[in-house]
Amino acid sequence: MLIPGMAGSGSGTANAQATPAFAGNAGHYRFRVGDISATVLSDGVIGGPPRVYASDAPEAELQEVLRQAFLPADHMTLNLNTLLIETGGRRILIEAGAGKTMGPNGGQIFENLAAVGHAPADIDAIVISHTHPDHVGNLRTADGGKAFPRATVFVPKADWDFFVRTDPDLSYMPVPEEFRLRFAANIKNSLAPFMNDVELYEAGAEIVPGLTTIVASGHTPGMATFLVHSGNDQLLLTADLAYHPVVNVDRPWLPGPDRDKETALASRRRIFDRAAADRLPVLGFHFPFPGLGRMLKPTAVTPGFPPTGSFDD
């Protein structure tokens, strides 16, 4: 079992909200996928009421699950685990992180990139799973320019159509109206510098050799997940199929921000089942830093309380 809140730049305590810098803790984690160099770069943390991320959980069960995981009852911390891969002479960032679009504790990607010896101009491409602000928030500088000046930005076409080309109805999100308006505006603002040169992709496409996108719609119309692969090694990135292993993997509870909850659930089951069956290393964008682990198939199913799987580090 994963014990969240013990590692790295996103401790799961309530104090995490009030302590922006986590001074002294590394916000990067290096490993390899075959010949591909991979580095998790934390952009910090966001979070909110646990109920938002476990919309259909019975209250007493939710509180018990949080208590058993040593997590606070009133706040769930979500990490922002972007992944830098270096392959074929290119540096590709998977997810851009939140910046300050969803609270004061995002925006750390730049210092963590510097800590591994890179400047924003060293990034050749940025691949976004979906256009929620916590995935695109760092793309724009304060004065409206491109924060990663050389990078080609890849965005799922269905998300671009829904969030950027129209004014989406976000009334399905279990948050106050004021939050929804800011959320929608932050998406458009963050992507504004790329109106003329964004690369729109269909989930399923290969972005570069070694990085394939996987259809995972439901959370948003176009959300994709990713498979990084080299030789016999693979890494599955699960994007926002799950927010936190304790409520969306070990328990089957549905994230409130999923736009189409049935389609999202089907995507979650299909991809988590593959991860378990193929014993794939997994990186969860919002999981406790650095977000790496493996999915387990449940060994027993409790009637009326079936976990979809289990996350183990």
Q: Please, which residue, 36 or 187, has the CB nearer to Zn ion?
A: 187
Among positions 159, 240, 250, 258, the unique one binding Zn ion when judged by CB under 5 A: 240
| Segment contacting Zn ion by CB under 5 A, of 25-33, 87-95, 238-246, 262-270 | 238-246
Specify the residue, 118 or 253, whose C-beta has the smaller distance to Zn ion: 253
Bridge partner list, 46: 78
Q: Which residue, among 58, 52, 54, 105, has the nearest Cα to 289 in the 3D structure?
A: 105
Binding region for Zn ion (CB under 5 A) out of 48-56, 131-139, 275-283, 304-312: 131-139
What tokens does 202 get?
């269909």
Instruction: Compute the least distance from the CB of residue 11 to Zn ion, in Å.
Output: 19
43: contact with Zn ion by CB under 5 A: no
CB-facing half-sphere around the CA of 122: CA atoms within 13 A: 12
Q: Could you tell me the smallest distance in angstroms from the CB atom of residue 130 to Zn ion?
A: 8
Is residue 134 a contact point for Zn ion (CB under 5 A)? yes
- Find the part of the chain contacting Zn ion (CB under 5 A) among 10-18, 54-62, 130-138, 170-178: 130-138
Between 242 and 276, CB nearer to Zn ion: 242
Q: Which of 30, 16, 54 is nearest to 247 (CA)?
A: 54
* Token output for 32: 């390899």
d(CA 24, CA 12): 17
Closest CA to 93 of 113, 114, 67: 113
Minimum distance, C-beta of residue 280 to Zn ion, in the bound complex (Å): 20
Least Å distance, CB 60 to Zn ion, is: 27
Alpha helices in 117-238 (DSSP H): 133-136, 157-159, 177-191
Shortest Å distance, C-beta 77 to Zn ion: 13
Strand ranges across the sheet with 281-283: 206-208, 211-215, 224-230, 233-237, 281-283, 292-296, 310-312
The stretches of the chain forming alpha helices (DSSP H) are 15-18, 50-53, 59-68, 109-115, 133-136, 157-159, 177-191, 245-248, 261-277
| Complex with Zn ion: residue 93 or 296, whichever CB lies closer | 93
Question: Taking CB under 5 A as the rule, does residue 159 contact Zn ion?
Answer: no
Query: Segment contacting Zn ion (CB under 5 A): 69-77, 178-186, 234-242, 296-304?
Result: 234-242
Shortest spacing between CB 297 and Zn ion, in angstroms? 25
Site for Zn ion, rule CB under 5 A? 134, 240
